[in-house]
């Protein structure tokens, strides 16, 4: 029987699976993921700050598997051999395929900056987000003995969407953290060090400024136009003056690295023609050299013909790619032509805490509490597209937790 192999149960992979499972065409699907759960990558900051338990941002893959159509294998992909049409797992298993969907997701990008891996915390999956939370709590507990103000200092490196949402969530977590440390919440210091001065370039200056000013009004300190040059133990080293190259140091016992992501290392390891783990795919989302290989989500770069730049890597786009790939595979199986990927953004909204957000819905700017409601709607829609109503009912964000 024709075999469709899906690598990765993130937004793109699960969406492909969900649509393909509804097909009446005769084929079998195998889904591989290193975990037996899917996690909401867009919500990792909630786990990292302790605002939500991990159970609220992950769900079991078995809940979306239809056993008559799909087999799930828990395993780590180490190599993809497109010539021989097989995939190797770390435990030595080899899986053959007729059609392949590569949706292996993202990793933290250090840009080769010294000391990042050793001295900064990343926040890219459930385990690393949980480690951030444990680290922050441990430093707060240390403070009760040490009285060292660096135990109460948290630096977020990079003010992209991830950094901004993390800062908002950290601010929200401050009262609880202050209680743990036995201090006034004002004694907890939050910093953000960012290379550029014009933040969040996907928004106009007024909208981006609204969000940053809100965070500043909560006491968050921004050092902008300060590229980070190295991370030393408990110290961020940044360029203070571009002309002279002078550097300064910011000491803190919690340093979180959110300066951008790259696609899975498996792409490079398997000889794909890639840049930072992303492969430039054809308009129908297939590999330029293999019409039976689809590359989706954070390991994929697809050209937006309107802006003449690749689409950004977001959950929304990954889900849309999954839908298109599933339709195209179904067409190929029925000897019909594939269609090009088209994307119409619902908008992009950054949450800053549970009740504030800012961003664009279509082309309309939204900010404040109404924006946070829109954001929850976007998140619930993605949950619905992946899992179905059951997930939205049990995890949907209509039940405010404050």
Q: What are the catalytic residues?
A: 165
Residue 105 binds ligand NAD, judged by CB under 6 A? no
Give whichever of 34 and 345 is closer to ligand NAD, judged by the CB atom: 345
The CA-atom distances, in angstroms, between 402 and each of 133, 178, 190, 372, 391 are: 19, 17, 22, 14, 21
Query: Which stretch, 26-34, 135-143, 189-197, 204-212, contacts ligand NAD (CB under 6 A)?
Result: 189-197
Report 339-358 residues binding ligand NAD (CB under 6 A): 348, 350
Smallest CA-to-CA distance from 353 within 379, 372, 326 is with 372
Give whichever of 258 and 300 is closer to ligand NAD, judged by the CB atom: 258
Query: Which stretch, 74-82, 205-213, 248-256, 310-318, contacts ligand NAD (CB under 6 A)?
Result: 310-318
Residue 313 binds ligand NAD, judged by CB under 6 A? yes
- As beta bridge partners, residue 39 has 58
What 3-state DSSP class applies to 104?
coil
CA distance 28 to 324: 19
CA distance 3 to 99: 6
CB of 150 to ligand NAD, least distance (A): 20
126-146 and 161-181 are packed helices; what angle lies between their axes, rounded to 10 degrees? 40
Residue 115 binds ligand NAD, judged by CB under 6 A? no
Q: Write out the H or E segment, with its range, that includes residue 99.
A: strand 99-102
**Candidate list 49, 103, 258, 286; residue touching ligand NAD; CB under 6 A:** 258
Query: Which stretch, 92-100, 207-215, 258-266, 300-308, contacts ligand NAD (CB under 6 A)?
Result: 258-266
**Candidate list 125, 174, 253, 314; residue touching ligand NAD; CB under 6 A:** 314
Residue 102 binds ligand NAD, judged by CB under 6 A? no
CB of 237 to ligand NAD, least distance (A): 10
**Candidate list 132, 228, 279, 302; residue touching ligand NAD; CB under 6 A:** 228
Binding mask 2-41 for ligand NAD (x = CB under 6 A): ----------------------------------------
Q: Write the DSSP string, 175-230.
A: HHHHHHHTS-GGGSEEEEE-S-SS--TTS-HHHHHHHHHHHHHTT-EEE-S--EEE
Burial of 107-131, coded b for 16+ CB within 10 Å and e otherwise, reads bbbbeebebbeebbbbbbbbebbbe
Residue 254 binds ligand NAD, judged by CB under 6 A? no
Give whichever of 108 and 328 is closer to ligand NAD, judged by the CB atom: 108
Backbone angles phi, psi at 309, to 5 degrees: -130, 155
Give whichever of 196 and 393 is closer to ligand NAD, judged by the CB atom: 196
Specify the residue for token string 């060090």.
193
CA distance 65 to 49: 31
Query: Which stretch, 6-14, 15-23, 190-198, 241-249, contacts ligand NAD (CB under 6 A)?
Result: 190-198
CA distance 8 to 33: 5
Give the other-Cβ count within 10 Å of 45's Cβ.
29
Give whichever of 233 and 312 is closer to ligand NAD, judged by the CB atom: 312
**Candidate list 312, 340, 368, 370; residue touching ligand NAD; CB under 6 A:** 312
CB of 160 to ligand NAD, least distance (A): 2
Give whichever of 109 and 151 is closer to ligand NAD, judged by the CB atom: 109
Q: Kindly state the number of chain residues that form the binding site for ligand NAD, as judged by CB under 6 A.
A: 26
Report 131-170 residues binding ligand NAD (CB under 6 A): 157-163, 165
User: For residues 89 and 78, is the Cβ–Cβ distance under 8 A?
Assistant: yes
CA distance 334 to 354: 46
Q: Write the DSSP string, 15-61.
A: HHHHHHHT--S--EEEEEESSSEEE-GGGHHHHHTTSS-GGGTEEEG
Give whichever of 165 and 327 is closer to ligand NAD, judged by the CB atom: 165
Write out the residues near ligand NAD by the rule CB under 6 A.
42, 111, 113, 157-163, 165, 193-196, 227-228, 258-261, 312-314, 348, 350
């Amino acid at each position: 029987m024709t075999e469709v192999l899906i690598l990765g149960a993130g937004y793109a992979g699960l969406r492909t699976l969900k649509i393909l499972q509804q097909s009446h065409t005769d084929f079998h699907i195998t889904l591989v993921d290193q975990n037996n759960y899917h996690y909401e990558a867009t919500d990792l900051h909630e786990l990292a700050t302790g605002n939500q338990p991990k159970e609220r941002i992950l769900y079991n893959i078995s809940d979306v598997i239809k056993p008559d159509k799909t087999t799930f294998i828990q395993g780590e992909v180490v190599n993809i051999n497109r010539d021989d049409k097989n995939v190797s797992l770390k435990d030595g298993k080899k899986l053959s395929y007729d059609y392949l969907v590569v949706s292996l997701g993202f990793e933290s990008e250090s840009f080769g900056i010294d000391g990042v891996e050793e001295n900064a915390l990343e926040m890219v999956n459930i385990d690393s987000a949980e480690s951030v939370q444990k680290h922050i709590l441990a430093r707060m507990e240390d403070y009760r003995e040490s009285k060292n103000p660096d135990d109460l200092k948290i630096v977020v490196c990079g003010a992209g969407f991830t950094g901004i949402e993390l800062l908002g969530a950290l601010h929200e977590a401050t009262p609880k953290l202050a209680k743990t440390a036995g201090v006034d919440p004002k004694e907890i210091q939050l910093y953000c060090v960012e290379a550029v001065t014009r933040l969040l370039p996907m928004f106009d200056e007024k909208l981006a400024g609204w969000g940053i000013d809100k965070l500043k009004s909560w006491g968050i300190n921004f050092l902008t136009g300060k590229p980070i040059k190295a991370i030393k133990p408990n110290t961020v080293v940044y360029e203070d003056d571009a002309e002279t190259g002078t550097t300064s140091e910011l000491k803190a016992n919690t340093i979180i690295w959110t300066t951008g992501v790259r696609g899975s290392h498996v792409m490079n390891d398997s000889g794909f023609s890639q840049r930072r783990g992303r492969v430039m795919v054809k308009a129908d989302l297939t590999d330029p050299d293999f019409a039976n290989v689809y590359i989706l989500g954070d390991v994929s770069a697809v050209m937006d013909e309107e802006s003449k730049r690749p689409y950004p890597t977001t959950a929304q786009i990954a889900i849309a790619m999954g839908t298109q790939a599933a339709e195209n595979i179904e067409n190929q199986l029925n000897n019909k032509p594939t269609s090009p990927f088209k994307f119409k953004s619902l908008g992009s909204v950054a949450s800053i805490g549970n009740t504030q957000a800012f961003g664009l819905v279509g082309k309309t700017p939204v900010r404040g509490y109404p924006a946070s409601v829109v954001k929850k709607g976007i998140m619930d829609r993605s949950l619905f597209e992946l899992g179905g109503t059951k997930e939205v009912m049990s995890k949907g964000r209509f039940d405010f937790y404050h």
